[in-house]
Amino acid sequence: MRKALIVLAASLTLVLFSKTIMAGQKNSADNTPTNQYSTMTLKERIANLGLVIPEDVKERFEKLDKLPHPTLLDSSPRFDWRDFGRVTPVKDQGGCGSCWDFAATGAFESSILIADDVSWNLSEQQVLSCNSGISSCNGGWMEDAYNLFMDYGAVEESCMPYHASDTIPCIQDECDVAAVLQNYEDIPFDLNSLKNALLNGPLSTTLMVYDDFNWNCYDHPDWNELNHAVVIVGWDDNLCGGGAWLVKNSWGPQWGHMGYFQIPYGSCGIGRYSQLPIYDDSALPEMIVDKDSLIFNLSSEGEETQTLTLENTGGRNLYYNLIIKTPTNQDSFGYYWLDSESPQGPDYSWIDITTSGEQIDFGSHPDNDNSGKLPLGFDFTFYGVDYNSICVCTNGWASFTEDHATTYNNYPLPAALPPNALLAPYWDDLTLEDSGSVYLYTNQLDTTIVSWVGVDNVERDGEFTFQVILVAPDTIIYQYNDMGPGGLDRCSIGMENDSGRMGLQVANNEEFISGHRAIQFLLSEPMDWADIENNGNGIIPPLESTEIPITCSAGEHSPGSYDGILVLSASDPNSPYRELPIIMNVGSNAVDNGVNTPNGFIALRNYPNPFNATTTIEYSVPAKSHIELSIYNLLGQKVATLVDGYKQAGTYSVGWDAENVSSGVYYYRLASDDWNLVQKMVLLK
């Protein structure tokens, strides 16, 4: 039957919502049985919803929701597990705040039905009476049910019938265990992640139920504290004007559409804190990727094709999609930005320079003044031009060229008007008349920091502490410590070149920035040198594999090293999203992250860079050699040895955990008896 189910799930034959009949349910509400709860009003229902989300769960999902949104793996306009008879009958929680219990149990029943083709009626009363958490009729969280199903197992309803009461004794030891849950997965709150996860089974999830809630496309885009838990069984992009989730409720089959409701995507917070129960992971797709990265070493105008092999070792079809990630918010020079709210962005890590740096003296003009040229102590490359000094203005900006301008009326970026060659971490009409100072720190080697500390705006409705970090040759980071509370929508944030014709605007007169946040500006070549054959998407049946050809063409690119990211999304619940670095090295001369030897090309890079606590160093070996990979500080002292031994020709990666060393610039050296290669990385805590 499992093989038959695999074929069934692959075909995904779709029918209209109005023809959907839930497995085991009567054909119409008129023929469904009633119970003592069926006459409860909506007001009575809302009084007994009972969802309580623990704070640690909220923090866990907050981090999860920052992950990149994956590519949609199945573009079918409609998908519904009821079409395959894989959803158990609707039940009624009654006058007990046990929606969390019914959501988890209902999703678990479906996961068993999908894997084993067996429909169990599991006991919600067991969960109420026997869970080891704090969940009860006064409210609870799905994990208390899932943990019980994993630690003890689930018993049948017939052994512990539901009484809508948490005072019923726990007698699970007198019952036979029907099924044991293996695990459950948290699902990010975005449309593609939820749809992709649904390919493996119904999800327990949450929403906010309001006083006028109804079953037919209830649309309420705002939500406060979530108060109800349900089961998403599918989606329909043609419902509710813009697409809707198909949802199994726990208010009995006489409510709604035979116990179900359809709700627009995003309405009432539906989809937040979703979880996928995993009953038998061998029945799920499982992806194995044969490479962690791809490195192409090409002569000028050369071309090469390599294959990335994906294998499905699981028991269900694996949906996959491979794309080349291109930077967003990119200007014509190649700069783009990411902030600490982005999964690949910088970590916020404030650097206090009030004691290590020098306070900038603005003399008798603390309201509008310019420091003039202050030496960096090194060359810094900005829009292809090398600068060795910086000018700082009281109004929240700095420039590599403008040593007299004091412009306070911020405007959109880029702009030909001065100031140009501009760094604008928080350009507004700021003043040092009442409080605040500006500091500059340089190590005279490769790092400069400018910090505006406790600076007022002229409206006196906000106070601002922020900084610019420059790390040679071209790393730019803005950090924001304490900001506001007023004035957050009266500033320009971004940067531009020396003519004001190229630049990036992060925000202009809009409330974007907040405290404890960071923005990094990065430089990247357009990804026009890599191509994925056949669009890089498809389905891999169980126990089969596929090869995806990837071609890099040097074309007219000048000698050097070019980096990109391959983003791999898949329906493997344990690995739904991966990023694979792709590197193209062009030409015969030494480049920033590689060098030619008589035996071949050696590449060396780390990512992310700058980094907070951990980074991955990737290197290639052209021939069997004794390899040493070590980390050094600025004094030349070795702080770590990551590799020391013989390596065959190939590409390798190793992680470095820098939790126990201080922030700063470090060098990593890859060496054999015949060659060595040194690179720089920046640790920001």
Predicted pLDDT at 103:
97
Q: What backbone phi and psi angles, to 5 degrees, belong to 115? A: -80, -45
Confidence of residue 78 (pLDDT cuts 50, 70, 90): very high
Q: What is the pLDDT of residues 231-285, one digit of tens each?
A: 999 999 999 998 999 999 999 999 999 999 999 998 999 999 999 999 988 888 9
Q: Which of 61, 59, 133 is nearest to 100 (CA)?
A: 133
Q: How far, in Å, CA of 486 to CA of 252, rounded?
A: 50
Confidence of residue 150 (pLDDT cuts 50, 70, 90): very high
Sheet of strand 422-427: strand arrangement: 370-382, 385-393, 397-399, 422-427, 492-496, 503-508
Same domain for 509 and 618, yes or no, is no
Does the pLDDT at position 637 exceed 90?
no
Which residue numbers are catalytic?
Answer: 99, 228, 249
- Burial string for 461-496 (b: 16+ CB within 10 Å, else e) reads ebbbbbbbbbbbebbbbbbbbebbeebbebbbbbbb
In a domain, 621, yes or no: yes
Predicted pLDDT at 185:
93
- The conformational region for residue 493 under phi > 0 = left, psi -120 to 50 = alpha, else beta, is beta
Same domain for 266 and 347, yes or no, is no
Predicted pLDDT at 326:
66
Peptide bond into 473 cis (omega under 30): yes
Secondary structure element (H or E) that encloses residue 466, with its range = strand 462-471
Q: How far, in Å, CA of 546 to CA of 526, rounded?
A: 28
3-class DSSP state of 449: strand
Q: Residue 195 belongs to a domain with what CATH number? A: 3.90.70.10
In a domain, 242, yes or no: yes
Q: What backbone phi and psi angles, to 5 degrees, belong to 37? A: -100, -10
Q: What backbone phi and psi angles, to 5 degrees, belong to 309? A: -100, 125
What is the bridge-based pairing of β-strands 676-683 and 638-647?
unpaired
Predicted pLDDT at 469:
95
Q: What is the pLDDT of residues 551-589, one digit of tens each?
A: 999 887 777 667 778 889 899 988 888 888 888 877 643
In a domain, 218, yes or no: yes
Does the pLDDT at position 341 exceed 90?
no
Asked which of 283, 298, 325 is the last residue of a domain, the reply is 283
For the chain, the domain total comes to 3
**What is the arithmetic mean of pLDDT over 60-67?**
84
Does the pLDDT at position 599 exceed 90?
no
Same domain for 479 and 343, yes or no, is yes
Three-state secondary structure of 486-527: CCCCCCEEEEECCCCCCEEEEEECCCCCCCCEEEEEEECCCC
Q: Which of 217, 254, 321 is nearest to 94 (CA)?
A: 254
Asked which of 523, 558, 579 is the last residue of a domain, the reply is 523
Q: What is the pLDDT of residues 402-443, one digit of tens each?
A: 999 999 999 899 988 899 999 999 999 999 998 999 999 999
Same domain for 346 and 258, yes or no, is no
Give the DSSP per-residue string, 371-439: EEEEEEEEEEEETTEEEEEEEEETTTEEESS-SS----S---SS-SSSS-SEEEEEES-EE-SSS-EEE
Confidence of residue 629 (pLDDT cuts 50, 70, 90): very high
Of residues 157 and 417, more confidence is placed in: 157
Does the pLDDT at position 22 exceed 50?
no
Predicted pLDDT at 12:
32
Confidence of residue 9 (pLDDT cuts 50, 70, 90): very low
Does the pLDDT at position 3 exceed 70?
no
**What is the arithmetic mean of pLDDT over 450-454?**
97
Predicted pLDDT at 13:
30
What is the bridge-based pairing of β-strands 294-298 and 577-586?
parallel
Mean predicted lDDT score pLDDT of the chain: 86
Same domain for 502 and 384, yes or no, is yes
Residue that is written with structure tokens 């959109």 in the block: 412
Same domain for 197 and 91, yes or no, is yes
Of residues 485 and 365, more confidence is placed in: 485
Residue that is written with structure tokens 């690995």 in the block: 575
Q: How far, in Å, CA of 214 to CA of 220, rounded?
A: 11
Same domain for 442 and 518, yes or no, is yes
Contact 521, 444 (CB under 8 A): no
Same domain for 519 and 608, yes or no, is no
Does the pLDDT at position 25 exceed 80?
no
> Residue 150: how many CB atoms within 10 A of its CB?
17
Q: Which of 307, 316, 472 is nearest to 387 (CA)?
A: 472
Sheet of strand 625-632: strand arrangement: 638-647, 625-632, 664-671, 676-683
Predicted pLDDT at 561:
66
Report DSSP state, residue 591: B
Predicted pLDDT at 264:
94
For the chain, percent of residues with pLDDT exceeding 70? 90
Predicted pLDDT at 590:
34
Return the amino acid letter for 498.
Answer: D
Same domain for 512 and 640, yes or no, is no
In a domain, 88, yes or no: yes
Predicted pLDDT at 593:
53
Confidence of residue 328 (pLDDT cuts 50, 70, 90): low
Confidence of residue 51 (pLDDT cuts 50, 70, 90): very high
Predicted pLDDT at 130:
97
In a domain, 12, yes or no: no
Asked which of 501, 523, 545 is the last residue of a domain, the reply is 523
In a domain, 318, yes or no: no
| Mean pLDDT lowest among 118-132, 350-364, 555-569 | 555-569
Predicted pLDDT at 491:
94
3-class DSSP state of 534: helix
Predicted pLDDT at 597:
57
In a domain, 271, yes or no: yes
Strand partners, 475: 471
Contact 507, 426 (CB under 8 A): no
| Mean pLDDT lowest among 293-307, 580-594, 630-644 | 580-594
3-class DSSP state of 343: coil
Predicted pLDDT at 559:
72
Of residues 43 and 229, more confidence is placed in: 229
Q: How far, in Å, CA of 39 to CA of 68, rounded?
A: 45
Confidence of residue 601 (pLDDT cuts 50, 70, 90): low
Q: How far, in Å, CA of 517 to CA of 339, rounded?
A: 7
Give the DSSP per-residue string, 86-139: --PPP-B--SSS-HHHHHHHHHHHHHHHHHHS----B-HHHHHHH-SSS-BTTB
Does the pLDDT at position 89 exceed 70?
yes
Does the pLDDT at position 145 exceed 60?
yes
Predicted pLDDT at 685:
67
Predicted pLDDT at 307:
94
| Mean pLDDT lowest among 29-38, 285-294, 356-365 | 29-38
Predicted pLDDT at 634:
65
Of residues 12 and 362, more confidence is placed in: 362
Predicted pLDDT at 17:
28
**What is the arithmetic mean of pLDDT over 100-127?**
95
Does the pLDDT at position 56 exceed 80?
yes
Report DSSP state, residue 640: E
Same domain for 495 and 414, yes or no, is yes
Q: What is the pLDDT of residues 461-513, one digit of tens each?
A: 999 999 999 999 889 999 999 999 999 999 999 999 999 989 999 999 988 88
Does the pLDDT at position 343 exceed 80?
no
Predicted pLDDT at 15:
29
In a domain, 110, yes or no: yes
Secondary structure element (H or E) that encloses residue 532, with its range = strand 530-532
3-class DSSP state of 647: strand
Q: What backbone phi and psi angles, to 5 degrees, belong to 582? A: -125, 130
Q: What is the pLDDT of residues 525-548, one digit of tens each?
A: 667 789 998 778 899 999 999 999
Strand partners, 655: 616
Q: How far, in Å, CA of 87 to CA of 108, rounded?
A: 10
Measured at the alpha carbon of residue 147, what is the angle toward residues 143 and 152, in degrees to the nearest 5? Answer: 155
For the chain, percent of residues with pLDDT exceeding 90? 59
Residue that is written with structure tokens 């990666």 in the block: 653
pTM of the model: 0.62
What is the extent of the structural domain holding 466? 335-523
Q: What backbone phi and psi angles, to 5 degrees, belong to 296? A: -110, 125
Does the pLDDT at position 643 exceed 90?
yes
